[in-house]
Amino acid sequence: MTTAGATRHEVLAGVFTVRTDEQGFSSLHTLVWQRAQAPDAGRWALPGGPLLPDETAEQSILRHLAEKVDLAEVAHLEQVATFSDPGRLPGGRTVATGFVGLVPYGVDPALPDDTAWLSVDHLPTMAFDHGRIIDRAHDRLRGKLSYTNIAFGLAPAEFTIAELSRIYFAVLGHHVDPTNLQRILTRRGMLERTGGNAAPGRGGGRPGAQYRFATRELRVTDPFAAFRPPDS
């Protein structure tokens, strides 16, 4: 039981994946659930919950994701920031440790009725400060795309360069030339050919070569790199 005046501690995760709509447009989505009770009843919130005394913050968020949304396949998870505004939640002070989590393209876990993937570009007003936490997690992901291999957490096991460039577009919000992307990641030793080719598309044409990330663990590949919009 929490004593009067004690600070509570919770963990929350901005879990991202890339999804493609019926028109073939790829966009970044985040996992959210809809609150049924006050305060902020009806608003969408991030997955997470209380940090227990016998677990680390990372153990806690993995437990909440597995228990509440049956999400066991998180390809990458890291802390983003601590959110400690005394008034961020009603009813006493609650400090939150925020995480960014990544789920590979094509992974589609079963979700409860109150849980959904929502486009980051079209989020409604979120519960409490959860919109700010999503923004911070998205900023972290956007920044790391330039100087690490973090895209492995969003990419399927095998992919074409065109498919990978769409993942970069979904996160960055601007076009990334596939040829340049292949050149950059190959030069950094982050891509390798699988030896296979993708299935031909509806329009026919030469099937694209398939690639995979050389490692599916986070690596800093160029600390000074930045993927900028084409007109910058």
Half-sphere exposure of 35 (CA within 13 A, CB side): 17
- Region 145-171: mean pLDDT is 96
Here the contacts of 156-159 (C-beta below 8 Å, separation 24 or greater) are 156/104, 156/105, 156/106, 157/104, 157/212, 158/194, 158/196, 158/210, 158/211, 158/212, 159/105, 159/210, 159/211, 159/212
Tell me the pLDDT band of 190, cut-offs 50, 70 and 90: very high
Q: What pLDDT is stored for residue 12 in this prediction?
A: 98
Q: Which CATH architecture has domain 8-125?
A: Alpha-Beta Complex (3.90)
Q: What pLDDT is stored for residue 201 in this prediction?
A: 62
Angle between helices 161-172 and 130-147 (to 10 degrees): 140
Mean of the per-residue pLDDT values for the chain?
92
Residue for token pair 């997690």:
137
Evaluate if residue 204 carries a pLDDT over 80.
Answer: no
- Region 138-149: mean pLDDT is 96
Q: What pLDDT is stored for residue 2 in this prediction?
A: 44
User: What residue ranges do the domains of the chain occupy?
Assistant: 8-125
Q: What pLDDT is stored for residue 127 in this prediction?
A: 98
Tell me the pLDDT band of 143, cut-offs 50, 70 and 90: very high
Tell me the pLDDT band of 203, cut-offs 50, 70 and 90: low
Evaluate if residue 4 carries a pLDDT over 70.
Answer: no
Tell me the pLDDT band of 157, cut-offs 50, 70 and 90: very high
Evaluate if residue 3 carries a pLDDT over 60.
Answer: no
Which of the two residues, 54 and 198, has the higher pLDDT score?
A: 54
Evaluate if residue 72 carries a pLDDT over 80.
Answer: no
Q: How far apart are CA 43 and CA 124, in angstroms?
A: 8
**99-121: pLDDT as tens digits:** 999 999 999 888 899 999 999 99
- Region 200-229: mean pLDDT is 84
pLDDT over 70, % of the chain: 95
Task: Report whether 45 contacts 35 (CB < 8 A).
Answer: yes
Tell me the pLDDT band of 79, cut-offs 50, 70 and 90: very high
Task: Give the predicted TM-score (pTM) of the model.
Answer: 0.93
Q: What pLDDT is stored for residue 1 in this prediction?
A: 42
Residue for token pair 């030069």:
187
Q: What pLDDT is stored for residue 129 in this prediction?
A: 97
